[in-house]
Amino acid sequence: MLVVENLTKIYPDGTKALDNVSFTVEDGEFLIIIGLSGSGKSTLLRCINRLIDPTEGRVTWDDQDVTAASGPELRRIRREIGMIFQHFNLVKRLSVEQNVLSGRLGYVNPNMALLQRFPADVRDQARATMEQVGISALAHKRADELSGGQQQRVGIARALMQEPKMILADEPVSALDPVLAHNILQDLEGLNKQGITVLCSLHYLDLVQRYATRVIGLREGKIVYRGSREAIRAMTDEEFKDIYGEEAVRIETGRSVSGG
Amino acid sequence: MATRTVVRKERRLRDIPPALAGLLSFLVPGLGQIIIGYWELGLFYAGSALSLVGLIIWRISVIAYKQETWAERIPVAFSRQGILWVLAIALAALWVLIVVDAVRSAARKRPRNQLGYVIILAMFFLLGWQIVDIDLVKLVTEFGDAVPIISRIAWPWPAAVFREEVAFQGIEIIYSDCDPGDVPPATPQVSGEPYIDVAPRCGELSDYGVAGTLLTVHGSGFRPNEEVVIWWEDPIGKEFRVRYQGDFVTAVTDENGAFAQEFAMPNLLIPPSAGEGPHAHILKARQTSFVGGLKPSKELLLAIEKMVETIFLGMMATLFGVALAIPVSFLAARNLMSASPVTLAIYYATRFILNIVRSIEPIIWAIIATLWVGLGPFAGVIALLFHTIAALGKLYSEAIESIDPGPIEAINAVGANWIQTVVYAVIPQIIPPFVSFTIYRWDINIRMSTIIGAVGGGGIGFLLIQWIRLTDYRAAGIAVWFIAITVAILDLVSSKIRERYV
């Protein structure tokens, strides 16, 4: 169970990316976070595994205080939480297999990994994982030779190597076309059904309605919407726009002002 | 939209009478424009016009350098260099244009400056032509002077190889400063060897204007129908070809291998150390022939040796340079050093030092290094090393600065520690640019080491300069060819390797 309490993040330049955000994620949920670009979605996800240190507030993961953890303790927490990214964040010059193997770095002997060697059982696990997400044929290709959808699958395989209890997905399909977006989200849904909690930020209402078990909406770092599975499926375009609403209108007005 | 365009272009302009603006720009070109508020344009006009005036004055004083006063200089200079008339007229036109532009600007008319720019450019071009002394006629008519050198450098291979010669000769001893009764011992005839018979065998050397004793040489046992050259060895063992009436003395054997030739004893100085006469000279009638295959000449071997030295010089400088540039580059990478004010200060200091070292040319480092460690390739390595560290340090640090933070974030997120993150996310990203820059630098260092050699840094450049100064252009040509071939091969290799790694 993930508990986020009064999370606030102020960047050194004064931007308030998160403003007193609190919510709880039960195990097995598929929580989707919606909001405009710059509303704090990425910051929120990164505060959960401390890629970004929050300014205030507390994140508790399975009764461990993530915000207070440091060094080895933090790395042990991180390895239980997989993460996939909008731009995949693969190491482009390494092979698909090495990228997948790197997901296991939190578990293996650090000295072995220096020589880019992994134990045989880890390599077997990587082969099985690649099989699972359907990229076995690409194992020896360089990551930058792959298409966007394939790269995101490698990203998912890397996260799965961690044997995660939770996956954080930061706009995992924004860089993909709609068909691939459904494929990737179906993969995530499948993992969710196997019991992995998923926190995912998304833009498109149809995708949100199709996959979410719960939704929170962020605007200017604040939670402005909380919806259950039923509520989100009943949502109309108008209501969805309300979350983005005023902001979008303001942009329109702004344009007409500057245009005049 | 329209309003905004006007707002952007609007600047605060001072209202002054057009005539005053014109007068100001007449006194100092561009001053009117500056006062009105077009200060960039005004400064440009002022800078251009004043520097053109200064350059023209300088040219006049250079052309008419013997004249004392300007009243004398100007007519002399203008009559010597007609181009000055063109420059003067163009300058006057520019002046008028600037004044007109000031008047128009003061009257708030749209400025039209294109003609002014064209005149300024054209004048600088003409002055440039003058100053660097471009002479197209000379370039064409005196090309002939360059042909022998160019042809030797372009095709130096006759000097790169030679064949060994063997002499087939008969000798006889001749006395000078001798009494008529003195006759040197006869050289015995050996069967199968050529034999010459000289008469007389005691005589007087030629002196200035006075021909010496006429000698008659009869030879036999030589190879038939081949040239025989007459050589003379003086009492101190110095050998030279004999000249008679201006030509080298030679003969051609008949079908029996015999010849006869007549010439006067040569003119030569007998050093006092040779003592009183009679002095023994050796007359040699020699046929030469080449034996064996072509052999590399001394120059060719030396060029190969120095080329190898040059390649290794460049390689060592690159290796040491890389080893030292990598740590330096981490200190000069902003993204790694911006954590605290202290590290940021180190970053700025490193950058500053790198920039200074890099802006000093390797040839200057070479001069410093030759004073430091003496002439030779080690000085060359040091010279290139300084420049390599500075250049690679900058390139590497820029490669580090431009790495994608995404993979680092991702590897952190899987729970990797710091060193694992470096190995998996940082190093794979910086290897391609590092390899590429390193090979590029090796390429530069080998090319540069030829220049370094010229100032005493060892390698083939040293030979090249030496041969050019000795006017041995064929040997210099060998060095030039070696450098060109090596650089071409290296270029090819480095581009292939870079293709693979990037």
Interface predicted TM-score (ipTM) of this complex, two decimals: 0.88
C-beta atoms of A89 and B417 within 8 A: no
Q: Which CATH superfamily hosts domain B298-501? A: MetI-like (1.10.3720.10)
Q: CB distance B1–A259 less than 8 Å?
A: yes
Give the residue from A90, A100, A86 showing the smallest Cα distance to A181. Answer: A86
- pLDDT at residue B442, as a whole number: 85
Name the DSSP letter for residue B245: T
Domains of chain A: 2-80+164-259 (3.40.50.300), 94-163 (no CATH)
Q: How confident is the model at residue B502 (pLDDT cuts 50, 70, 90)?
A: low
Query: What mean pLDDT is predicted for residues A45-63?
Result: 92
Question: B331 CB contacts (<8 Å, ≥6 apart)?
Answer: B337, B346, B347, B350, B397
Residue whose tokens read 């060998």: B478
Task: Pick B407's closest partner by Cβ from A46, A81, A89.
Answer: A89
Interchain CB contact of A1 with B (< 8 Å): no
Band (pLDDT 50/70/90 cuts) for residue B111 is low
Of all residues in chain B, what percent carry a pLDDT higher than 90?
37
For residue A253, the model assigns a pLDDT of 32
Q: Where exactly are the structural domains of chain B? A: 13-134, 161-295, 298-501
Per-residue confidence (pLDDT) for residue B294, from 0 to 100: 86
Q: Is the pLDDT of residue A252 over 50?
A: no
Q: Is B133 exposed, middle or buried (0-12, 13-18, 19+ CB in 10 A)?
A: exposed
Q: Tell me the C-alpha distance between A215 and A238, whole Å.
A: 16
Measured CA to CA in angstroms, residue B129 lies from A183, B52, B118, B353 at distances of: 70, 14, 16, 38
- Mean pLDDT value of segment A44-69: 92
The pairing of beta strand A56-61 with beta strand B259-264: unpaired
What average pLDDT score do residues B392-406 get?
Answer: 91
Sign of the alpha-carbon torsion through B468, B472, B474, B475: negative
Average pLDDT over residues B215-234: 90
Tokens of B126: 């003409």
CB proximity A155 to B under 8 Å: yes
Backbone angles phi, psi at B284, to 5 degrees: -125, 130
pLDDT at B10: 59
Chain B within 8 Å of A116 (Cβ-Cβ)? yes
Cα–Cα distance for residue pair B260/B258, rounded to 1 Å? 7
Q: What is the CA radius of gyration of chain A?
A: 19
Measuring CA to CA, which residue among B97, B125, B99 is closest to residue B113? B97
Specify the 3-state DSSP secondary structure of A13.
Answer: coil
Give backbone dihedrals phi and psi of A66, rounded to 5 degrees, phi first.
Answer: -65, -40
A145-200 confidence digits (pLDDT tens): 999 889 999 999 999 999 999 999 999 988 888 888 888 999 999 999 999 999 99
Contact criterion met (CB below 8 Å) for B455 and B366? yes
pLDDT at B498: 77
Is A49–B423 a contact, with Cβ atoms under 8 angstroms apart?
no
Residue type at position B261: Q
> Which residues of B are less than 8 Å from A116 in CB distance?
423-424
Query: Nearest C-alpha of chain A: how many angstroms from B397?
Result: 20
Q: Does A120 touch chain B (CB under 8 A)?
A: no
| Cβ atoms within 10 Å of A40's Cβ, excluding its own | 26
- Could you tell me which residues come within 8 angstroms of residue B164 by beta carbon, excluding any fewer than 6 positions away? B290, B291, B292, B295
Chain A nearest-CA residue for B432: A93
Summarize pLDDT for B288-305 with one digit per residue, the tens.
Answer: 888 888 889 999 999 999
In A116-236, alpha helices (H): 120-133, 148-161, 178-193, 205-211, 229-234
pLDDT at A251 over 70: no
Considering only alpha carbons, which residue of chain B is nearest residue A75? B415
Cis peptide before B278 (omega within 30 of 0): yes
By the 8 A CB rule, do B354 and B332 touch?
Answer: yes
Alpha helices of chain A — where are they, by DSSP H? 41-48, 71-78, 96-101, 110-114, 120-133, 148-161, 178-193, 205-211, 229-234, 237-259
Confidence of residue A248 (pLDDT cuts 50, 70, 90): very low
Nearest CA among B194, B55, B202, B188 for reference residue B132: B55
Cβ-nearest to B414 among A87, A116, A162: A162
Query: How many Cβ atoms from other residues are within 10 Å of residue B6's Cβ?
Result: 8
> Is A88 in Cβ contact with B406 (below 8 Å)?
yes
Asked if the domains at B161-295 and B298-501 fall in one CATH topology, the answer is: no
Whether residue A23 contacts residue A33, with contact meaning beta carbons closer than 8 Å, is answered with no
pLDDT averaged over every residue in chain B: 87
Q: Chain B contact for A83, CB < 8 A?
A: yes
* Closest chain B residue to A85, measured at CA: B410
Q: Residue range B200-207: average pLDDT?
A: 86
pLDDT grade, residue B475 (50/70/90)? Answer: very high
Other CB atoms within 10 Å distance of the CB of residue B377: 21
Q: Identify which of A138, A147, A200 has the alpha carbon closest to the alpha carbon of residue A175.
A: A147
Beta strands B161-176 and B279-296 are: antiparallel
Position B5 scores a pLDDT of: 38
**Contact B449/B457 with Cβ under 8 angstroms?**
yes
pLDDT at B421: 86
Residue of A89, A110, A259 lying closest to B410 (CB–CB): A89
**pLDDT for the residue numbered A196:** 93
Q: Is B415 on the interface with A (CB under 8 A)?
A: yes
- CB contact A10 to B (< 8 Å): no
Element (H, E) at B397: helix B377-401
Output the CA–CA distances (angstroms, integers) from residue B351 to A70, B322, B348, B389, B452, in the order listed. Answer: 34, 17, 5, 12, 25
Percent of chain B's residues with pLDDT above 70: 97
Does the pLDDT of residue A243 top 80, yes or no? no
Q: CA of A99: which chain B residue's CA is closest?
A: B424
Residue among B261, B260, B229, B266 at smallest CA distance from B246: B266
Report how far residue A217's alpha carbon sits from residue A32's, in angstroms, rounded to the nearest whole number: 8
Q: What is the model's pLDDT at position B67? A: 86
β-bridge partners, B214: B264
Q: Of the ranges A120-124, B202-206, B354-358, which one carries the lowest mean pLDDT score?
A: B202-206
Q: Please identify, in words, the CATH class of the domain defined by B161-295.
A: mainly beta
Q: What is residue B454's predicted lDDT score, i.e. its pLDDT? A: 83
Per residue in A67-108, pLDDT (tens digit) is: 998 888 999 999 999 999 999 999 988 899 999 999 999 998
Binned at pLDDT 50, 70 and 90, residue B271 comes out as confident
User: Is the pLDDT reported for residue A57 higher than 90?
Assistant: yes
C-alpha to C-alpha distance for A253 and A258, rounded to whole angstroms? 9
> How distant, in Å, are the alpha carbons of B450, B451, B467 from that of B473?
17, 18, 7
Lowest mean pLDDT among A249-253, B209-213, B314-318, B336-340: A249-253
For A79, which of B410, B414, B423 is closest by C-beta distance?
Answer: B414
| C-beta separation of A37 from A171 below 8 A | no
Q: Give the tokens for residue B353.
A: 């030092």
Question: Which residues of chain A have a CB within 8 Å of the CB of B429?
Answer: 91-93
| C-beta atoms surrounding B238 within 10 Å | 9
Instruction: Assign A260 a pLDDT band (cuts: 50, 70, 90).
Output: very low
The H-or-E segment that residue B303 falls in is: helix B298-331
Q: What pLDDT, on a 0 to 100 scale, did the predictor assign at position B6?
A: 40
